[in-house]
Structure 1
Amino acid sequence: MTLAALADNALHRPAETAYKRIQTAGFQLGKHTLQCPIMLAPMVGVSDLPFREICLQQGATLTIAEMVPADSSVWSSEKNRLRLKRSDNCGPEIVQIAGYDPQMMADAARKNADMGAEVIDINMGCPAKKVLKRASGSALMQDPDLVERILCAVVAAVDIPVTLKTRTGWSRKERNGPLIARIAEDSGIAMLSIHGRTRECRFMGDAEYDTIAAIKQSVSIPVIANGDINSPEKAAYVLRHTGADGLMIGRAAQGQPWIFRQIHRYLNNGELEHNPPAIDISTLMLDHIHALLAFYGDFKGALFARKHIDWYSKALPGGAELKAHFMTTRDAVEQRDILSAYHEKLRNNLIQSDGPL
């Protein structure tokens, strides 16, 4: 039976027969003891400070900030300045850096540690073309010698944990994730996060977990599984199949950050928790958009708000109409008014599941 068929069978069995408590060994990441962490992935343009705070409130164990370039000369730009902002509400400060020069990467790690980072995460998983053009991100996987030099330089530069996010390999024919994982362990990397696709796959097709399982078997450091984990049942399946020490959630948290809480509950006691009531989702959405506008300012915040409303609207009654109305404006005041009016109608039971606003 194929992996896809096995997954389909597991996901469609009744919860009471599919569930079996998963025990994972806890591990230490710096001063933090983690037991099967459910983490937010570092997604550029998504995992900003407001979203990380929301996800932590909704049950994420850890969050990783958006990737910043190793070249500190560009950190003064507004984009990178905001990515480097700290918050007392974001748990351990995990900063992800990307680059190809070992010394520049080491310097970036040192500067971030001096600014308060508790963990440095190295990006060797991003498949974006602009990152690959600079021979950074997942492009590094085709040069194991350079990978080793970068990892050794960064680990030697700081006295805080250094983690690595990577993919299963450079291409479908060259799934060299286990080799990179062994290099990482030998270089002093504290934890690995593995996305179940190759660089060549980008985000197309289904994630595969056999390579993550092989990586887990090849190293003794903690391994976090990532890729297409979009439900509590899928989370349990991936943990069992890979033997991973935890999970990383990316796109599935967009518009439904409560997925972290749902996964924790299912893994702990087998209970499948429904989505929050619509009024609670609306309250969360309002809080999130207000936080975005405060963080970015009205102009840029209003632009960022549009994609989040697109995601949230999918879980709300009258969501299609709400989204269509919201997308008619880029004015922050009008956006607030639209959301407040929707919230009031929802609270007063004036919105039907498929009816107009």
Structure 2
Amino acid sequence: MTASLQIGDVTVPGRVLTAPMTGITDLPFRRLAARLGAAYVATEMVASAELARGRPDVVRRAAVGEGLPLTVIQLVGSDPEAMAKGAAMAEAAGADIVDLNFGCPAKEVTGSACGSALMRDPELACRLMEAAVAATSRPVTVKMRLGWDDANRNAAALARRAQDIGVRAVTVHGRTRQQFYTGRADWLAVGEVKAAVSIPVVVNGDILTADDAREAIRQSGADAVMLGRGIYGRPWLAAHMERALADGTTLEEPGPEARTAIVIEHLRASVAFYGLPLGLKMFRKHLGWYVEQAPWPADPVERRAAKARLCRLETPHAVEEAITHLWSEELGYSSHSPVETRPQVGDAVAA
């Protein structure tokens, strides 16, 4: 793998991308992951119609800011006119890349004929792509699944049409919509998409370690990988995996002092961005994952109890004190858990 990925006129400075995830990849998280070395971290999924109407919470999801190597705004919707407006607004807001969501499996999304519901309505999907491509000078990309179900795996056909329309890259999650997150991602099937197009193809699904990334690329022939749930509580993972793919280096997971600093930085950024009490509320899911993914306390029962205790705290100061105390006995300890340690991750509404 080369060190960069070309998407239209944008050079992505790496081949390990971080997926857009609702409630996860907000601006505080994107800035933190970028500071830790991530090359590409997309926004949360942004509803194009609500963005066009200027709904405050939706505009906030598309927030851009300094400290990012590039800005990728992902849009979801089923109305071509709104998608065009959303794409134009994304460019005006500073997007380097505009990504369209044809992959989210959540019922509240597919029930509105959005997300992976578009895999069973390719004509509408094409109209949406045409609208976005015509509305912006920025490269338009698409994130999709293999199809709606096993009887209708049409990702390769839709990717060919996307390329003809002017889409500059596609990301394929190796599951159908009906699988949600069950079973294993089919990286070989993503290879069928790669064989069908000449634009870059990114493989997504069940890529939690550098070994997973290597195998996903081997099976699919993809140009890059995209991380999803594996980054929970590990915003450094993309940078670590990038290094592993580039030169085989296995980086140690952060020790207690570094993790404490990362947690506090993330907490303060969340509070600064959202204000109180929303900033603390938005951060709690991340706090829980930080505690779950740390190897201390060594007893999983103690870790679960600590997570429950910390996530009930009502002030940022109390959280800072508690996380410092939780890992205080380990300060000065250098973790020898390599990045390839497979995390235990939960579900999310991933785009």
Matched to 2:103, the amino acid is: G
Judge which range, 334-343 or 234-243, deviates more. 334-343
Residue 62 of structure 1 deviates from its aligned partner by: 0.7
CA displacement at 1:226 relative to structure 2: 0.6
> Counterpart of 2:307?
323
Return the offset for 1:35.
6.3
TM-score (norm 2): 0.87
Aligned to 1:69, which of 29, 42, 47? 47
Identity %: 34
Give the whole-Å Cα distance in 1 for the aligned partners of 2:178 and 2:170. 20
- If you compute each CA radius of gyration, which structure gives the higher value, 1 or 2? 1
Which residue of 1 is the match for residue 147 of structure 2? 169
The answer on whether the counterparts of 2:234 and 2:290 sit within 8 Å (CA) in structure 1 is yes
2:338 corresponds in structure 1 to: none
Q: What's the TM-score once normalised by structure 1's chain length?
A: 0.86
In the other structure, the counterpart of 1:215 is 193
The 5 Å alignment of 1:126-275 reads: 126-275=104-253
CA shift, 1:51, in A, is: 0.8
Distance in 2 between the 1:191 and 1:308 partners?
Answer: 30
Q: Which residue of 1 aligns with 2:96?
A: 118
Which deviations, in whole Å up to 9, do the C-alpha atoms of 1:46-70 show, x marking residues without a partner? Answer: 0101111121122221111011111
Shift of 1:332: 3.1
Whether contact under 8 Å (2:52, 2:86) holds in the other structure is no
**SS class of match (2:266):** helix
Question: How many residue pairs end up in the alignment?
Answer: 327
Alpha-carbon distance, 1:215 to partner: 0.3
Flag structure 1 segments of 5+ consecutive residues without an equivalent: 1-22, 350-357
Q: Which sits farther off after the overlay, 54-63 or 320-329?
A: 320-329
TM-superposed CA distance for 1:247, in Å, is 0.8
Residue 17 of structure 2 corresponds to residue 39 of structure 1: yes
Cα 1:78–1:106 change in 2 (3 A) is closer
Letter of the 2:315 counterpart: D
Which residue pairs with 1:4 in the alignment?
A: none
What is aligned with 2:87? Answer: 109
Given residue 85 of structure 1, which amino acid in structure 2 is its aligned partner?
A
Stretch moving more, 317-326 or 72-81? 72-81
Aligned to 1:337: 321
Unaligned runs of 5+ in 2: 298-302, 334-351
Q: Which amino acid aligns with 2:6?
A: Q
Once the 2 structures are TM-superposed, how far is the Cα of residue 323 of structure 1 from its aligned partner?
A: 1.4
8 Å Cα contact 1:39/1:249 also seen in 2: yes
> Counterparts of 1:61 and 1:31 in 2: how far apart (Å)?
16
What is the distance in 1 between the residues matched to 2:242 and 2:332?
32
- Tell me the SS of whatever aligns to 1:220: coil
